[in-house]
């Protein structure tokens, strides 16, 4: 029979799976008696774990939230996933560097030597290109406040940028979306009566929040699928040295699905759209426009039209 400490860790691992366990099922998994299970559950509670139990026939045990954060137990795959996440998160979220480094150090200290070497070897280096598509990282406070508003179904008041004098806009926040290196908020615009995406790194939140709202269903029910169909994802093209637009004879829904990050799409009809995008060169924009496999016309500005002619001659 396993020692008491090893058995408690095994019990904790079972409860952390998120499933509700009957006493007999736990007893069978641990190879102990029902009485030992009840005693071990009490021991976990004394250590700070909130183990809930439904009384009566068929009573079940479930791990719930407690008043404080107790120690956690990870299996090998979870430990590797946590190590990767701790290194990746500070690249996109401001304010987590020190906390993430401390958490990773704590994790490495308690891992078995073999697994510790694997996790320590997962060193991630973030390389930023001169014209990187990735936006500035998001402030952890903004991420927390938006997430809290989503949970509480509270309307957010915001401005784009740091212009404190600008009147605040409102949005009913529904989902946080990570797309193409960007943190976005998918919400309902109560003024425009439409769904919209907002870049979190461009938001300045106003306090207090607005009134509560009734949660809406995302069209089609699939957040990821719907997000890719949006014509405007709140992107900012100002970091590109070249910015241009053209009419492309393709439906806006198709272009929005496959366009690179930073593209704006304006529907002009069922089979044509005006596409605005940026790149490090005018030839770069011309090449991207050509990737939509359709007629490209009415390009602006003149430098983009010249780039289209130059590429056409080069390809000939």
Distance CA 225, CA 229 (A): 7
Most confident of 41-50, 107-116, 169-178: 169-178
Residue 69, pLDDT score: 62
Is 130 a residue whose pLDDT tops 50? Answer: no
Q: pLDDT: is 6 or 141 the higher one?
A: 141
Confidence of residue 1 (pLDDT cuts 50, 70, 90): very low
The mean pLDDT of 211-230, rounded to a whole number, is 89
Total residues found in the chain within this entry: 316
Q: Sheet containing 21-22: which strands, arranged edge to edge? A: 21-22, 60-64, 50-53
Residue 131, pLDDT score: 46
| Residue 267 in tokens | 């529907």
User: Domains in the chain and their CATH numbers?
Assistant: 4-64 (1.10.10.10), 76-120 (no CATH), 138-227 (2.30.30), 242-315 (3.30.70)
DSSP 184-242: EEEEEETTTTEEEEEEGGGEEEESS---B-PPPPPTTS-HHHHHTT-S------TTSSE
The mean pLDDT of 182-203, rounded to a whole number, is 89
Confidence of residue 253 (pLDDT cuts 50, 70, 90): confident
Which of 68-77, 261-270, 277-286 is the least confident region? 68-77
**CB of 271 closer than 8 Å to CB of 281:** no
Confidence of residue 117 (pLDDT cuts 50, 70, 90): confident
Q: Are strands 93-94 and 138-139 parallel, antiparallel or unpaired?
A: parallel
Residue 163, pLDDT score: 56
| Residue 270 in tokens | 């069922």
The mean pLDDT of 183-199, rounded to a whole number, is 91
Confidence of residue 13 (pLDDT cuts 50, 70, 90): confident
**CB of 95 closer than 8 Å to CB of 144:** no
Mean pLDDT of the chain: 83
Most confident of 106-115, 216-225, 248-257, 290-299: 290-299
Which of 8-12, 161-165, 284-288 is the least confident region? 161-165
Residue 46, pLDDT score: 85
Which of 62-76, 132-146, 176-190, 196-210 is the least confident region? 62-76
Distance CA 101, CA 94 (A): 13
């Amino acid at each position: 029979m396993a020692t008491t400490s090893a058995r408690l860790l095994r019990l904790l691992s079972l409860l952390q799976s998120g499933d509700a366990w009957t006493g007999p099922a736990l007893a069978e998994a641990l190879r102990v008696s029902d009485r030992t299970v009840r005693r071990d559950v009490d021991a976990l509670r004394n250590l700070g774990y909130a183990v809930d139990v439904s009384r009566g026939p068929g009573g079940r045990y479930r791990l719930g939230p407690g008043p404080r954060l107790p120690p956690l137990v990870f299996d090998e795959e979870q430990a590797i996933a946590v190590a990767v996440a701790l290194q990746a998160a500070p690249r996109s979220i401001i304010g987590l560097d020190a906390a993430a480094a401390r958490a990773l150090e704590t994790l490495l200290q308690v891992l078995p030597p073999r697994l510790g070497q694997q996790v320590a070897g997962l060193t991630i280096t973030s390389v930023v290109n001169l014209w990187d598509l990735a936006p500035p990282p998001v402030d952890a406070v903004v991420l927390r406040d938006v997430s809290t508003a989503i949970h509480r179904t509270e309307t957010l008041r915001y401005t784009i940028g740091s212009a404190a004098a600008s009147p605040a806009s409102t949005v009913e926040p529904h989902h946080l979306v990570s797309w193409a290196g960007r943190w976005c908020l998918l919400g309902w615009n109560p003024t425009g009566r439409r769904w919209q995406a907002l870049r979190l790194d461009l938001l300045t939140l106003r306090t207090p929040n607005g009134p509560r709202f009734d949660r809406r269903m995302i069209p089609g029910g699939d957040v990821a699928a719907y997000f890719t169909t949006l014509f405007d994802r709140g992107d900012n093209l100002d970091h590109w040295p070249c910015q241009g637009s053209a009419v492309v004879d393709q439906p806006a829904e198709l272009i929005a699905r496959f366009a690179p990050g930073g593209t704006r799409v304006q529907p002009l009809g069922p089979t044509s759209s005006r596409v605005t995008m940026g790149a490090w060169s005018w030839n770069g924009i011309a090449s991207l426009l050509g990737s939509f496999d359709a007629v490209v016309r009415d390009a602006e500005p003149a430098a983009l039209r010249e780039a289209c002619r130059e590429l056409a001659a080069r390809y000939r």
